[in-house]
Amino acid sequence: MPQSALMNAYHEFMDKARPFLNITNEDEYVAALEAIEQVLESSKDASDDPMKPLIRMLCDAIARYESLDAELAEFEARAMSIPIHISVLRVLMDQYTLTESDFPEIGDRTIVSRILAGQHALNLTFPLS
């Protein structure tokens, strides 16, 4: 491919991608989130996936926008301060409509509730079978 064709292809790509890569408002942010979801659904989980550079560009653009938005930055800080084991339990509960009683491997409903409230530590050691 001659250099001019490469440059033309790049400029054409940037004309179409600019609203997704240079997010300046909420509408562009929502569009970028929808775009990354669509790209992720169509990509392969392989190291040689040709969609990886696009995924990285979209993720970087979304992260840049989120870091400039005080409300989103505060939300991210709160989310990152939650211990991972509590986050995992909450996601499982949300995704599968589970309750504190649905984790007998962890303990009874009271123990799971106290773990979710940060009042009780989750034992992360597993018995060997």
| pLDDT value for 70 | 86
Q: State how far the Cα of 68 lies from the Cα of 45, in Å rounded to an integer.
A: 30
Banded model confidence at residue 89, pLDDT cuts 50, 70, 90? very high
Domain ranges, ordered by start, for the chain: 3-80, 82-116
Per residue in 22-60, pLDDT (tens digit) is 999 999 999 999 999 999 999 888 888 889 999 999 999
The tokens describing 80, both together, are: 């990152």
